[in-house]
Structure 1
Amino acid sequence: MKHTISFWLEAARASFLSVMLMPVLLGALGAFAWNGVFEPLWFIITLIGAFSAHLFSNMVNDLWDYRNGVDTKAQDTANDVSTNSGMLTEGRVSEKTFALVTWMFLALALLCGIILSITKGWPLLMLAAAGGMLAYFYVAPPFKFGYRGKGYGEVAILLSFGVLPVMGSYYVQTGFFDPRAFFLSLPIGILTTMVLYNHHFLHWRADRDSGKNTLVVVLGEKKGLLLSKAFTLLAMLTIPLGILVGALPWYALIAVISAWPLIKAYTALGDTNPSESYGPLMGASIKSTVLCGFFLALSLLLQGIFKLLLN
């Protein structure tokens, strides 16, 4: 294949892998903090599988948005900012080759899921299959969750980038599920959902004109921005909730400062804004997600270390 590894990492938008690293890390650190277990080998296999699934999700999104004419419309719409990789719309790779590599990433993710399910338990294969179907049908017919504008897409992202990877990673380490893992997944899951949600502001007009009814399209710019702020508040409220149910130690409250990049970005926006004005909000979403994940992971790591020292 004439294209280099770096080319395909760019095509799959691998620079955003941090939003998948955090939930997998949190699930494993939950097992360490609550149960005193951590198996590095199985964590690495889990991470490889999760990363492959994320890259598949990015590429299948580009593939079907291209087939549905959404990405081409975004490039042709004045004042809108295109957020796809540009590989297909710019003719840098054929659709056939792009699709082949897309399915290769899915195959690698499923291989990791099969290995983990054989060694750690069949529920992991069910989680992997659920994540794969949510990623595919987010943009692919007949469901096209992300095109319906009823919040289905946001729920799919919350599950795929929050609940499933956190609970799955925890299960890999322990061999069972724990309700605390669900509550642990909420802050990082909601913030990751916001990364996707906020990027729709960059090209919502093109989405509207091409029939992609995202929540931003359905609500309109002003109400859509209000919902974005509500998501931020909800994500921060799930941190003390996690503490109340025993999923996080009290000092995990420091993670609420991760909202600051988003708050700062909101203050620079009015009710209506040029599409390019939402670039900083998109960046702030990623920064807040990574910061929140870091502080939550650090708090769980410290909790596990403190338990080991006291025992």
Structure 2
Amino acid sequence: MDKLSLWMKASRARVLPVMVVPVVLGGVGAFAWEGVFRPFPFILTLVGAACAHLFSNMINDLWDYRSGVDLAAKETAAAISTNSGFLAGGVLSEKTFGFATWALFAAALVCGVAVSVYSGWWPLAIGALGAFIAYFYVAPPLKFGYRGKGYSELAILLSFGILPVMGTYYVQLGQFDCKPLLLSLPIGLLTTLVLFNHHFLHWQADRASGKKTLVVVWGEKRALVFSRMLATLAYLTLIACVALQALPWYALPALLTSLNLFRVYGTLADRNESRAYLPLMGASLTASVRCGGLMALALLLQGLLQRL
């Protein structure tokens, strides 16, 4: 494995689209509604958000390793680990992994400071809130991602929906609005669904190590009901965005991205082997990226049509 591939796997860069899409939505929203697009601040926002996301992935792995969650997943036959496995497998030392983790944080901070020069201190404040959520999601003393009370789901909605969409919109226009808040809900809820569903893959290991997710607290049957409800709510908020003119009517084909997701739900029983949830994870991630992408294309088309 070459160095680039190694670090891409260590940081789980393959899931970057779940952060890229909401940033793009905030940018094209500003263009569609107000006719404004500032390329350089947008690029800084995108790079900073991407670095922050990779930092979040790696700090999660770092603290899961320190708390024993990674090792429990490795030793539990029924569990499928969703971390990189580089620490538990001895591929990278904790020191090297930690250095790369904090280097990504530094890069995100530099981008945040640069953006604040153009747009004021609000983007930096939003970034600081995101960093707080990313770190204390797994780090003591808060570890709110381990408490099983829905704090982690709210954190994901904020970090991968409301904050990046609203923050990018503010960078472009220097103001907040209700439309980007509405726009952030479908993509935020779908990404929350991705993170919620990934707990099904290793909930036994989480339980063994003391990590309380809602899947651990509720059990598979009840958690699956909630998962379906979350998916339904995400697509209902998309319809609400169209009804309230945060999206044009031709964003409605994005609803079709739900078909495969709900087809997979139909294949699941109340209790399943861990591997049975892999298709659900794949369908959730695909639905999130494709739905968000179609929303962004609809807004881009709206902005272009208004300027013809």
Same-fold call, TM cutoff 0.5:
yes
Show the counterpart of 1:195: 194
Aligned 8 A contact 1:261 1:285 in 2: no
Show the counterpart of 2:216: 217
| Distance in structure 2 (CA, Å) of the matches to 1:278 and 1:240 | 28
What is the 5 A alignment of 1:1-311?
4-309=3-308
Root mean square deviation of aligned Cα: 1.1
CA displacement at 1:34 relative to structure 2? 0.2
Query: Which residue identity does 1:109 align to in structure 2?
Result: A
Aligned 8 A contact 1:207 1:213 in 2: yes
Aligned 8 A contact 1:146 1:152 in 2: yes
Q: Which runs of 5+ in 2 are unaligned?
A: none
Query: Which residue identity does 2:52 align to in structure 1?
Result: A
- SS across alignment from 2:230: helix
Q: Deviations over 1:81-109 (max 9, x none)?
A: 11110110100011011111101101111
Deviates more, 1:23-32 or 1:245-254: 245-254
| Distance in structure 2 (CA, Å) of the matches to 1:104 and 1:262 | 36
Moved over 3 A (4+): none
| Distance in structure 1 (CA, Å) of the matches to 2:208 and 2:85 | 20
Q: Deviations over 1:227-282 (max 9, x none)?
A: 00000000000011112322111221211111112112111111100001100100
CA displacement at 1:5 relative to structure 2? 2.8
CA displacement at 1:119 relative to structure 2? 1.4
Aligned 8 A contact 2:145 2:152 in 1: yes
- SS across alignment from 1:268: coil
Aligned 8 A contact 2:197 2:281 in 1: yes
| Distance in structure 1 (CA, Å) of the matches to 2:149 and 2:240 | 26
The count of corresponding residues between Structure 1 and Structure 2 is 308
| Distance in structure 1 (CA, Å) of the matches to 2:282 and 2:194 | 8
Q: Indicate the percent of aligned positions where both proteins have the same amino acid.
A: 58
Q: TM-score, normalised by structure 1?
A: 0.97
Q: TM-score, normalised by structure 2?
A: 0.98
| Distance in structure 2 (CA, Å) of the matches to 1:145 and 1:261 | 32
Query: Which residue identity does 2:191 align to in structure 1?
Result: T
Q: Which runs of 5+ in 1 are unaligned?
A: none
Q: Deviations over 1:50-88 (max 9, x none)?
A: 000000000001000110100110111121111110110
| Distance in structure 1 (CA, Å) of the matches to 2:243 and 2:132 | 33
CA displacement at 1:285 relative to structure 2? 0.7
Aligned 8 A contact 2:201 2:274 in 1: yes
